[in-house]
Amino acid sequence: MSTISSYALVIFGASGDLTRRKLLPALFNLDCAGKLPKAFRVIGVARTAMDSATWQRQAAEAIADLGDDAQRAAFSKRLVYMPADYSSVADCNRLYDLLYNCDDCFESQGKVLFHLAVPATVSEAIVHALGKSRFAPQGRMVGNHAILVEKPFGTDLDSAVAMRKLLMDTFEEEEIYRIDHYLAKDTVRNLVVFRFCNAMFEPLWNRNYIENVQITVHEKLGIEERGEYYDQSGVLRDMIQNHVLQVLALIAMEPPIAADAESIRDKKNEVFRSLRPLFPGDWVLGQYDGYRQADGVNPDSTTPTYAALRVHVDNWRWFGVPFYLRSGKALTDKLTEVVIVFRTIPLCVLDDPNSCASVQRNVLRLRLQPQEGIHLSFNVQKPGIANEGIDTARLHFNYDEVGQITHESYARVVLDAMLGKPGLFWRSDSIETAWEFIAPALADEKNAPPEGYPNYQPGSNGPASAAKLPQQAGHNWYS
């Protein structure tokens, strides 16, 4: 942040739940850590009629359990509130005047980051208004401006393309930061380090040695209070199309040609472009018993709360290796992990048939949450005078042995956007390729007959038919 002497973060949706639960605590933690410039202001914009003092009191409640009194008081002075109609060009012009007439918080070399902490339909109105305001005298942003956009980035390919065109009518691609908070998690960022900072695995990281890859994102809770949102989204849009495919890309990508963020995003996009098209039989959808009774959910809803997919990356490294993806609500346990299943040995050289039968595949587990760590299984001889056979041993690394895991990722997301670091954010070409890939399964959502759901019970491992996806190739789900 040393290169920026002044900064303004404009939060559209300042009175909303996301701002209260995520953004304000994240900004406060950045402030306490000395990551914000001295001349920094947070401009809260929302339709709710209130003044800055009222918003500051609400913010104080949001961070009541953080820091000390002096820190909270200092942070409160950074907050300014402006009520506005999101679609009003006149209100955007008032915002322009507020920013550029605030002598103690903004200077000519300062930067403005617009954070759209609002639903996608509202975001469209805001971008339209900004593009017609004094921020964009020729219809495009002038000066040091950028925009931070919350997912979902559309609901299908057509809407994603429309959103991209809308944003790029006013902003340049490099000024657009599309949030996937999963990418900011310590354990997800470590996937790149694990892949490209450990020489022992790279020679094995291909179809010659890996039999299949399994990516699991299970949640123990149901939809809770998110019924209205979730019934319009479902697991394919909420998890598979974004978070899960991003993890797949980090596992499958080729080494980047340089350490810069764009080189990494290029390689991830190559993975998305290499995905084999989905066909019927490549996925299983499910809905848990009780979902339709939740507030905000259509009583005849066919929105899936569970999805399992068999995916292939058709390139030289991975051709023929299935990637099994699964995610769902109301399952046995909360679990996010990547399982790398290595091929079995080609020939057993032991003289004991029972020992040969005991040899297991080597399995590498990258546990992203909870109990974050890395675990590798391998075969060992049981000790003893007689031939005691073969056993499976495990090497374990637990993240809590080297430091505390940062479970809340919004501070890193906001800071990287402020610093102009694009690595944790989606690029438009990858978004559209991912939507195109998942389209056949999305179409199947509407074909699911209401009488086919529910097809799994809360607290189970999902639909029984999900086990068939790996079994058809002689594989089984791990964990």
Token duo for residue 293 = 């009774």
310 forms beta bridges with 324
Binding site members for NADP(+): 13-20, 47, 151
Binding site members for substrate: 181, 185, 219, 238, 329, 334
Binding site members: 13-20, 47, 151, 181, 185, 219, 238, 329, 334
Environment class of residue 444 by beta-carbon count within 10 Å: exposed (0-12), middle (13-18) or buried (19+)?
middle
Q: Which of 243, 312, 407, 475 is catalytic?
A: 243
| Residue entry with tokens 């610093």 | 419
Mark whether 243 is an active-site residue: yes
Single-letter code of the amino acid located at 240: I
Q: Which long-range contacts (CB under 8 A, 24 or more apart) does 394-403 make?
A: 397/373, 398/371, 398/372, 398/373, 399/186, 399/187, 399/372, 399/373, 400/372
By DSSP bridging, strand 306-312 and strand 322-328 are antiparallel
CA quadruple 167, 173, 177, 182: dihedral positive or negative? Answer: positive
> DSSP letters along 92-148, please?
HHHHHHHHHT-TTT--TT-EEEEEE-S-HHHHHHHHHHHHTSTT-TTSS--SSEEEE
Nearest to 341 by CA among 362, 312, 321: 362
Alpha helices (H) in 275-320, listed in sequence order:
none
So which residues are the catalytic ones? 243
